[in-house]
Structure 1
Amino acid sequence: MRVTVFGATGGIGRLVVQQLLDAGHHVTALVRSPGKFALTHPQLAIVIGQLSDRAAVERAVTGADAVISALGPSLKRSATGTPLTDGTRTIVDVMRVQKLARFIGLATPSLTDPRDKPHWKHKVLPVMAKLMFPNALTELKGMTEAVTSSDLDYTIARITNPTDKAATGQVRSGFLGHDRVGSAMSRADIAVFLVSQLTDTRYQRAMPAISN
């Protein structure tokens, strides 16, 4: 399968790219600074550009069977603007034009899925995020809405507390108030889950919460 990865230089994105290559997929990664991405592989293509560069996004997406976005907003309180929201809108529009449907991405349980039942995270996490990371929450809302309001075949995994621990191979997934899903999850296991959604149809047009 040919997969385009956005956010490939981040902690989760790098692992997604490696997982895809290990599984035999062909990967195209859009990167702003190639110096930050030392990985080389015969089945890895690098497109240099930014999300604000529509032509670069088009080059990255052309010929893909699916898109995986490991994009995540800055947690700095000084952060301003909505570059990731705007960039995600560009990705969605390019996918629509190119008739590419499958999108796999990330969000937070601060945002709800219609299949959720009442849960403490719905009350606590949005308040904490608004106080501590107001711009990041705005970005996550905008990024998610850009995808869920489209006709894409999406799966957006909601994560709470990513860690740098080793992969455990244990993944819980489901909907808040309905399934037993915790909070912490290793970035390695998050990457495995995202890649698994290329062939897993359980969460089409859904936002499952995931944890170890």
Structure 2
Amino acid sequence: MNVSVFGATGAIGSLAVTELLERGHRVTAYARNPGKVPGSWGERVRVVVGEMSDQVAIDSAVAGADAVVSALGPSMDRKATGLPLVAGTGHILTSMKRHGVRRYIGHATPAVLDPHEKPTPVTRLIGFLPRTFMRRAYDEITGMTGQVMGSGLDWTVVRFIAPKNTPKQDRLRVGFFGTDKLGFAVSRADIAAFTAAQVGDDTYVGRAPAISN
């Protein structure tokens, strides 16, 4: 399949690109900073360079895709302003609809509930902390996912709490708060692998599974 990846040069996005390549997919990577494009990608990855405000560049990256993966996440820099990823996600969704691309896999935290979940102590805590201390980041993650969940596309939002730079683990817990046993920490390698696996799997279409080790 042809997969377009946004946030492709980030800590999780770059791992997701590798996972997709290893699974035999063809990848288009959208990069805001060409200097962060790994040399190891070589000719295996088509790179489109642009800001999240560049509708034309985003449209070019989405054209011809069978699925879109978004590893975009809000900046934790307290000096950051605006909600560029909310607008950028809107551009991605517009291009997907223009080109008839149905499958979208994105990332969020449990501050965003799955459509079938009710709030739990964990989701309340994970929502309260950023809403109180990192309001811009909270508004960005909820604004992004709100658009996705209301898009009418075949979306999956992968949620996690505490990503770590550790190797893949032997066990990955996948489920929903209030019904399944979930932890806090999860390796970025496992997030990337689970994200890549969703491209060809419709198990969680229209759902927001949470994962942990």
**Into which bin does the TM-score normalised by the smaller protein fall?**
over 0.9
For residues 137 and 92 of structure 1, the distance between their equivalents in structure 2, rounded to whole angstroms, comes to 20
Q: CA RMSD in A?
A: 1.1
For residues 79 and 48 of structure 2, the distance between their equivalents in structure 1, rounded to whole angstroms, comes to 29
1:16-75 CA-to-partner distances (Å, cap 9, x unmatched) read: 001111122110001111111123233310011111111101110111100000000011
* 1:1-212 alignment, distance < 5 Å: 1-38=1-38, 39-212=40-213
Does structure 2 retain, via aligned residues, the 8 Å contact 1:85–1:142? yes
Residue identity matched to 1:163: K
1:177-199 CA-to-partner distances (Å, cap 9, x unmatched) read: 01111111000000000001012
TM-score by length of 1: 0.96
Does structure 2 retain, via aligned residues, the 8 Å contact 1:19–1:191? yes
Residue identity matched to 1:146: Q
Name the SS of the counterpart of 2:42 in structure 1.
coil
For residues 104 and 41 of structure 1, the distance between their equivalents in structure 2, rounded to whole angstroms, comes to 25
Give how far 1:92 is off.
0.4
Structure 1 unaligned segments of length 5 or more: list them: none
Does structure 1 retain, via aligned residues, the 8 Å contact 2:113–2:119? no
Percent of aligned positions that are identical = 45
1:85-133 CA-to-partner distances (Å, cap 9, x unmatched) read: 0000010011011110000000110111132244112221111112222
For residues 174 and 40 of structure 1, the distance between their equivalents in structure 2, rounded to whole angstroms, comes to 33
For residues 118 and 57 of structure 1, the distance between their equivalents in structure 2, rounded to whole angstroms, comes to 35
For residues 113 and 41 of structure 1, the distance between their equivalents in structure 2, rounded to whole angstroms, comes to 38
TM-score by length of 2: 0.96
For residues 79 and 172 of structure 1, the distance between their equivalents in structure 2, rounded to whole angstroms, comes to 33
Alignment size in residue pairs:
212
